[in-house]
Structure 1
Amino acid sequence: MLQPRSYPVFIAKALVLENEPFEAMVDDDNPWIEGFALVAVVGLLAGVAAAVGSFLTALSLPAPESLYVTLLQGGRQFASASALPPAEVERIIAEIWAVVALVTGYAGGWSPLLPILSIPSFALLWWLFFGVLAFGVGRALGSHASINATFGATALIVAPLVLFVFNIVPFAGPSPALIGVWSLLIGYRAIQVSQELEWHKAAAVTLIVYIVGLFVVAALVAAFGIGYAAGGAR
């Protein structure tokens, strides 16, 4: 069983795609538990950093009420110039404002603490999804790796989340695209090492997992949008 104090070294080596951390996770006496612990620790660290950053950013911005009034005034002017119904424009602004203020912590209250729950939860769900699908697709392409070993190695896909520590600085932080691409590369290395696949098969498994993941997210967003629209229609 690895010790949490070894996580920084493992994460640093995973970020540069060295084989050592992936091999150590596979060879661990319980890769599943080790992977869960690693994902939880990194996710919580990223969540706390994002929460602190949201709080400090909110302090550096104008009062939410003032900014909201300014947005509504701009919306009314836009509606007047474009002949759109002012009430509809205000409704759209209000809905977007509610979501953005909640997600960024600008709404005040407990909203700045949302990342402490959302980021670790998302990290765990993505790891489980990635591990299960990578195991299944890998088996279909000739891998004989166990699902336990796959979960251990693929836990390192959360390594780029450590860059969220830069979110503590207002208006700073890593690009989501950078996090996604870096995680994809780490996922490729994890699959290649844990499943002992040739590079092109490991790349195929990784891309299939990401493509399926994008379809799942798109389906969930569409379902949410349809449900929200249906609720609004009532």
Structure 2
Amino acid sequence: MPRLLLIPVFYLLTCASGWSDGYPFDPDSQRLTVPSIRLKLTGTQVQEVSAKGTITFDGGNMRLIRLHYPAAGNRADVIAATFNDNNEGLGPEDVYCIWVAPDEIAITLNDEHPKDKCPFGEPINHLIPPDADLRRSPYRLIRISPDGLIYFKGTRITLEQASALITDIARTPRPPEIQDDAWGNLTIVMPPPLTSQEISRQSTASTQTPEQIHDLLAAQGSSASVTVHRSW
């Protein structure tokens, strides 16, 4: 995805409608339901969010964030605002970093969060299970960038390699106590969609859109009795 250099930082307060069950956003529109600050991402940051689900804030980001959270660190896990099962329990002090547009994240504003406490936990999205564990496990997680690049364990892979993950899952020995038809799953973190203007301004790096990639893998998973589902 080309480097996005509109402005380093963009600030916006959204209107609040209160915390609800699940994360505070609509997965169809990526619209938040709580106050937030919005940060434009550099190309490097977009690549990190796409590949690992984490972000490393730059100096401009940190100056704005620390106006609200003085103890903030410079790294955070990022939740993709494209899936919300409405089952996540929200604590009264929670702060979230949410991917709301291809080159933009939102950080929720929560007056209940202590000023002397970092609003972001230690990032865990980048932690990769050892290969030995993956060989025994029927679960895989991939991420897709806004322009259709696929990432597994933080590294770019092809659609054919993503397809092979489903084959690997299907071949994982099933414990005798597991009787479900579907054994194992491929989890896909989808990106916020590009607008039609963004699509026309750039030549995408993939011949398929993120939705097309998802649908191709979901169809393969269905035929192989492997569940393919979305997550954040």
TM range (shorter): under 0.3
Which protein is bigger by CA-based radius of gyration? Answer: 1
* TM-score of the two chains, using structure 2 as the length reference: 0.24
TM-score (norm 1): 0.24
Structure scoring higher RCO (CA < 8 A, sep ≥ 6) equals 1
Higher strand share: 2
